[in-house]
Homo-oligomer: A and B are copies of this chain.
Amino acid sequence: MDAGSRREFERRKQASTGQLLLRAARLLNERAVGRVRDEGQPDLRPVHLALMPHLDMEGTRATVLAARMGITKQGVSQIVADLEQMGIVERRPDPGDGRARLVCFTRRGEASLLHGLGVLERLESELAVGVGETRMQRLRQGLVALLVELEKPA
């Protein structure tokens, strides 16, 4: 390969947006989970934290959670099983449908969620200091717009 096309290669080879996204996501979630753990929930893993914001206070079905999270219902089932064992959620029969069960927070789970949300808010505002409020805001907006695009089928 000659020097010219080598330079051309290098120019185009900067990390793709996909790689940037992945790396940022990993680092951010890692840091968030690290803090929650340090503050007294040592068994909590990223997925657990990821499910919580999708839970409605009246309880939510596994299929609905799956749709909101973009994963399979079986995946949800596993995460919920963990959270149940930790005493954070419980599964109650759905009064209107005998097949379904409503996943909802226990009393302890509500406290846990509240705490987790606090950690997240603090972490993000700390990062915003370095990144800049405006840029952080725009990053979020861009993400939301991109997700809309990506969620269109095909």
A residues whose Cβ falls under 8 Å from a Cβ of B: 1, 6, 9-10, 12-29, 31-32, 50, 53, 57, 70, 110, 113-114, 117, 120-121, 124, 127, 130-132, 135-136, 138-152
Interchain CB contact (< 8 A) of A135 among B12, B32, B142: B142
B53–A146 touching, CB < 8 Å: no
Min CB distance A62 to B, Å, is 18
Residues of B within 8 A of A144 (CB): 20
A16–B139 touching, CB < 8 Å: no
Roughly how many angstroms separate A136 CA and B1 CA in the complex, as a whole number? 33
Roughly how many angstroms separate A27 CA and B151 CA in the complex, as a whole number? 8
Min CB distance A68 to B, Å, is 9
User: What is the oligomeric copy number?
Assistant: 2
Residues of B within 8 A of A27 (CB): 70, 147, 150-151
Min CB distance A49 to B, Å, is 8
A50–B19 touching, CB < 8 Å: yes
A124–B1 touching, CB < 8 Å: no
- 5 further contact pairs, Cβ within 8 A, besides A12-B121, A136-B142: A16-B32, A18-B28, A20-B143, A24-B25, A25-B25
Residues of B within 8 A of A124 (CB): 16-17
Min CB distance A16 to B, Å, is 5
